[in-house]
Structure 1
């Protein structure tokens, strides 16, 4: 199948997660992604282990965000390396970078400099706080942004629970969302360029993204003036919608409307609760959650998780388990959908990866190659895009400008 971004070329100067997550997504969609790395250390996440892929020193972290790319090792601190980047930029559609504000300007690799060699260039900058404002010069890290952007004020057990504290999400969710916003912005810019012929400078801030995805909780604040507080696994606007202990573990009960609550009460043997004016509507359940939740907890604790999962599924009440990752990747639905994939790796033989969830006409969109070794494609890419310069490239390799 011809992939939707076939023919699009991306020069990826980013590292860690937000930028690489974006460029991996573009690679899955068919773009040619040239990942520029430092000749000696490469992307920082190559060494963010253990764990490492078997028989290698490639960290699992790096493998999570870099499939389908060509690794080109160039020292951009060297004038010759900077010149190589400018020459490559003249032949790509997109440049993606996540240096600090002004970090690439000193190398002559900022938007204005590269626009001079490629007037219709799409240039995407990802920073912690954006290109302007009082925090623009600061470095930004996902953990910090989850705190500064309000997410950690919403995540964790309530303040009243002994020992409770704000908690970050278990993956770098701000980075991941920023990567996806970057991909969306780049795709939109490509469409715009097709109409107008103009390139664009995309400015993405991790802090902006984190605030942007506060969703209903942001609106809960903006419409009331009251800051939502940590509620553990409870939902601020829906009841019952949280984790409950069963006789042998825990389940998630996610009642989304009044009819589902009635069905739950019938299965649970407490139909009178559904008819009680204090609990009959979601509005009343939210107002009276302090009285309702202990009653539901006592009822659910009488039966094992399997009972609730089976019986509630029969009547269409959303209910689910809390799986660890071994259970996730053994789940029959995950297996059927092919969410674990394998790609050939020159050192390990193969590498397990997580599939891109997008499907076109029943086909998952995944890049065909594993995450690259450091500098694996340096000469191949440079010889292809900068032909008839073998002697120059040989000299740059001797000097350590490229690997």
Structure 2
């Protein structure tokens, strides 16, 4: 039994934020029914593709965040499809959507309508700027993507080199962090419903999520009156906490505590530095000069040699690319590389595993992402049986 095996989620989301949220629930065992608009999720056709794979299938983007789900293609503007959707809602615990505010209302399928059909329903939305039900602003209804959230929320202003332009964080954190928070909100609402029988509306905005993610900048501005800027790989209040070049790449060293600082100086054979800069305040005041001292030491050594010299005494690691991650035994042992089938080819593909580890109800990547409308027959047949029997029927095949 999986932790969420008794939970049915109707997933109306597409692209990244919503699908990642429902992927987390699916990986923990929820029956996630991906209801796709005519033509399917916009990201189905996004590369990369495996050579020889079925053209009508999907690329790596869709595969990665839509595993463990079932697909049903519905046109919510069509009377029969709308009726089928409402029948699905009656069997559901959760509905998740990431349209612009007001979109579901145009189909008369907003929260209030669905709640009338299923009073214990948990309705969740992920939007760029949230939903008016939880706090109305003039930004609602505007389109938003990860880049917009990163720009508005402040993360780009503190990312990049001091003399460089504002820089987007590599992964789509505006989508991904919002998705994780939304999944937490859904599970909190499920817990509340289990105690009271009451459903509710769960709303997570991308802009809000990035403000929360940048919590450090909020208190820094409040305490100092100055907006934090870009510091490259450095930390505003901790030193050393940075990346340093080696003969074959880069390493990161986090030796900001007094004990770690002394251990670093010992490994560098620089007892004088430990004596001259014994406190964090001392080191922060001299950070530019001290950074040069550490950089001079690392530049004469390989990344492996630096890490070995500091192993067990100072937090340090090489800066790895994805090929290094694939080769790391730790990643394999933690099941963070999952293999799944790719329609149309014989060899499996690899996608990221689930980092949430549960001892009694393990998470897992059990099924590839679905083909568009792949599960129409089994889903609609279950609805028909439910109607005939007057009962809710759930299929987890």
Residues 363, 201 of structure 1: alpha-carbon distance in 2 compared, 3 angstrom cutoff: closer
Give the conservation status (yes or no) of the 8 Å contact 1:356–1:364. Answer: no
Residue 371 (structure 1) aligned with residue 369 (structure 2): yes
Residues 363, 93 of structure 1: alpha-carbon distance in 2 compared, 3 angstrom cutoff: closer
CA distance in 1 between counterparts of 2:185 and 2:92 reads: 17
Tell me which residue corresponds to 2:334. 337
What is the RMSD computed on CA atoms of the aligned residues?
1.8
Tell me which residue corresponds to 1:355. 353
Q: Pick from 277, 280, 286: which aligns with 2:278?
A: 280
Residues 93, 363 of structure 1: alpha-carbon distance in 2 compared, 3 angstrom cutoff: closer
Tell me which residue corresponds to 2:322. 325
Tell me which residue corresponds to 1:123. 123
Q: Secondary structure at the match of 1:334?
A: helix
Tell me which residue corresponds to 2:392. none
Give the conservation status (yes or no) of the 8 Å contact 2:123–2:200. Answer: yes
CA distance in 1 between counterparts of 2:351 and 2:300 reads: 40
Aligned length: 381
Q: Secondary structure at the match of 2:33?
A: strand
Q: Secondary structure at the match of 2:125?
A: strand
Structure 1, unmatched stretches of 5+, are: 391-403
Pairwise CA distance, 1:300? 1.9
Q: TM-score, normalised by structure 2?
A: 0.92
Tell me which residue corresponds to 2:22. 23
CA distance in 2 between counterparts of 1:102 and 1:175 reads: 20
Tell me which residue corresponds to 1:98. 98
Tell me which residue corresponds to 1:394. none
CA distance in 1 between counterparts of 2:360 and 2:340 reads: 20
Tell me which residue corresponds to 1:214. 214
Pairwise CA distance, 1:330? 0.7
Deviations 1:127-170 (A, max 9, x none): 100112010111110011101110000110102xxxx2111111
CA distance in 2 between counterparts of 1:202 and 1:275 reads: 54
Deviations 1:41-71 (A, max 9, x none): 2111111113447513411111110010000
Q: Pick from 297, 304, 307: which aligns with 2:305?
A: 307
Deviations 1:105-129 (A, max 9, x none): 0101110110110011100011100
**4+ long deviations beyond 4 Å:** none
Deviations 1:208-266 (A, max 9, x none): 00101112232222221211110011111210111111233211111141111111111
Q: Secondary structure at the match of 1:387?
A: helix
Give the conservation status (yes or no) of the 8 Å contact 1:357–1:364. Answer: no
CA distance in 2 between counterparts of 1:78 and 1:319 reads: 58
Pairwise CA distance, 1:386? 2.8
Give the conservation status (yes or no) of the 8 Å contact 2:18–2:98. Answer: yes
Tell me which residue corresponds to 1:169. 169
Pairwise CA distance, 1:363? 7.2
Q: Secondary structure at the match of 1:198?
A: coil
CA distance in 2 between counterparts of 1:26 and 1:169 reads: 25
Q: Pick from 375, 380, 385: which aligns with 2:378?
A: 380
Pairwise CA distance, 1:362? 7.7
CA distance in 1 between counterparts of 2:223 and 2:353 reads: 39
CA distance in 2 between counterparts of 1:105 and 1:18 reads: 21
Q: TM-score, normalised by structure 1?
A: 0.91
